[in-house]
């Protein structure tokens, strides 16, 4: 089955040729050879556009937005020049073979300029339009993929948080608090409700301000503290200029869940989760550290959450963001680097 791209290529370039053929055939002086020239020009440009697409997919899919844009523009120039060159070669070849108008030696440069300039400019405009359409389609598809992946990540987060074991512990802990500390029990129920609302709210968008994400992290820490009590300590070091920075929704929350599940919960004495955020060289750096061993934290289901995070970062930032895990003495540190964007 022909895919959408192939269908669009054939239809688009065919329609362009038909349009040029109509313009040529309606001229006061009509020469049939010009239909062949038009076919060469359009065919070479269409072939070049396909080559540009292959290069984009193989070499630029993970590049920055600026590099992709500059490369597409440069590619449009190269392809327009290539198509014009192919046209000139055919014109001179047919002339030499006697199928076209003879070109005297002293008129060759005039022919090159008269044919080359106009056709180069026309094909350049066509390729720039093609590049804009192709680029727009790529970005729309990536946005759809990102949205779908966010939904999958939200479901993954809910499964991790609201699996039967988590619910059993959370509800039991809150129930125990009802007699011991009714006020705190009510607070914890409200906290659980806030977490559900945040995770299920599709109107917030793909990215949220850092301070919004940290609020839900506080809620999650508060719920976990019912179970772990003094075994769970939490520390934040957030630079003031980071509070309004935009980050992917659920990014830090998933990392904190990972730190508790595969770090704190496995240690008898518990430990401290520390979040550090600062701006460096136009990027926001976020570090989440917890006691434990990296080998332990990368087993079982942990890799699913980290894989989802990395996929979202790739789709959202096209290689300009990263997530790293490393062992620092007796701690596991996750470092996330994102291009700095702020709430408008």
Structure tokens belonging to residue 59: 């070499």
Tell whether pTM > 0.95. no
Average pLDDT over residues 112-117: 85
Q: What is the pLDDT of residue 126?
A: 92
Contact 306, 325 (CB under 8 A): yes
Give the pLDDT band of residue 336 (cuts 50, 70, 90).
very high
Structure tokens belonging to residue 81: 């020049």
Mark out the alpha helices in 181-301 (DSSP H runs).
182-200, 210-228, 251-262, 294-297
Give the pLDDT band of residue 283 (cuts 50, 70, 90).
very high
Higher pLDDT, 14 or 98: 14
How do residues 145-182 score in pLDDT, each as one tens digit?
777 777 667 656 654 554 555 667 678 878 878 888 88
Greatest mean pLDDT range, 197-206, 224-233, 239-248, 258-267: 239-248
How do residues 9-23 score in pLDDT, each as one tens digit?
888 899 999 998 898
How do residues 177-205 score in pLDDT, each as one tens digit?
888 888 888 888 888 887 777 766 666 67
Q: What is the pLDDT of residue 296?
A: 47
Return mean pLDDT, the chain.
83
How do residues 212-227 score in pLDDT, each as one tens digit?
999 988 988 888 888 8
Q: Which residues pair with 289 in a beta bridge?
A: 274, 333
In the chain, what percentage of residues exceed pLDDT 90?
A: 26
Q: Cα(307)–Cα(154) distance, rounded to whole angstroms?
A: 14
Supply φ then ψ for residue 271, to 5 degrees. 165, -170
Higher pLDDT, 153 or 309: 309
Q: Cα(255)–Cα(252) distance, rounded to whole angstroms?
A: 5
């Amino acid at each position: 089955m022909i895919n959408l791209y192939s269908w669009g290529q054939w239809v688009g370039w065919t329609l362009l040729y038909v349009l040029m053929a109509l313009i040529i055939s309606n001229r006061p002086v009509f020469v049939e050879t010009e239909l062949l020239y038009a076919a060469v020009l359009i065919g070479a440009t269409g072939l070049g556009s396909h080559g540009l697409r292959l290069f984009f997919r193989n070499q630029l899919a993970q590049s920055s937005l600026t590099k992709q844009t500059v490369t597409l523009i440069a590619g449009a120039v190269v392809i327009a020049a290539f198509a014009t060159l192919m046209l000139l070669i055919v014109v001179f070849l047919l002339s030499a073979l006697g199928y076209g108008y003879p070109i005297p030696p002293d008129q060759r440069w005039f022919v090159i300029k008269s044919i080359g300039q106009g056709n180069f400019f026309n094909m350049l405009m066509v390729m720039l339009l093609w590049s804009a359409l192709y680029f727009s389609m790529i970005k729309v598809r990536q946005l759809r993929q990102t949205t779908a992946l966010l939904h999958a990540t939200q479901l993954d987060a809910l499964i991790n948080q609201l699996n039967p074991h988590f619910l059993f512990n959370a509800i039991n802990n809150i129930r125990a608090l009802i007699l011991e500390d009714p006020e705190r029990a009510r607070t914890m129920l409200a906290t659980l409700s806030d977490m559900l609302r945040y995770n299920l709210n599709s109107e917030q968008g793909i990215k949220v301000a850092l301070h919004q994400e940290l609020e839900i992290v506080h809620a999650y820490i508060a719920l976990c503290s019912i179970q772990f009590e003094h075994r769970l300590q939490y520390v934040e070091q957030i630079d003031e200029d980071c509070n309004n920075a935009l980050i992917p929704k659920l990014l830090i929350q998933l990392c904190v869940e990972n730190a508790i599940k595969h770090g704190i919960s496995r240690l008898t004495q518990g430990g401290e989760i520390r979040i550090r955020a600062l701006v460096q060289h136009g990027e926001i750096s976020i570090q989440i550290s917890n006691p434990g061993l990296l080998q332990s934290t990368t087993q079982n289901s942990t890799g699913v959450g980290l894989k989802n995070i990395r996929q979202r970062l790739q789709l959202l930032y096209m290689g300009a963001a990263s997530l790293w895990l490393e062992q620092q003495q007796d701690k596991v540190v996750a470092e996330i680097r994102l291009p700095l964007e702020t709430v408008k």
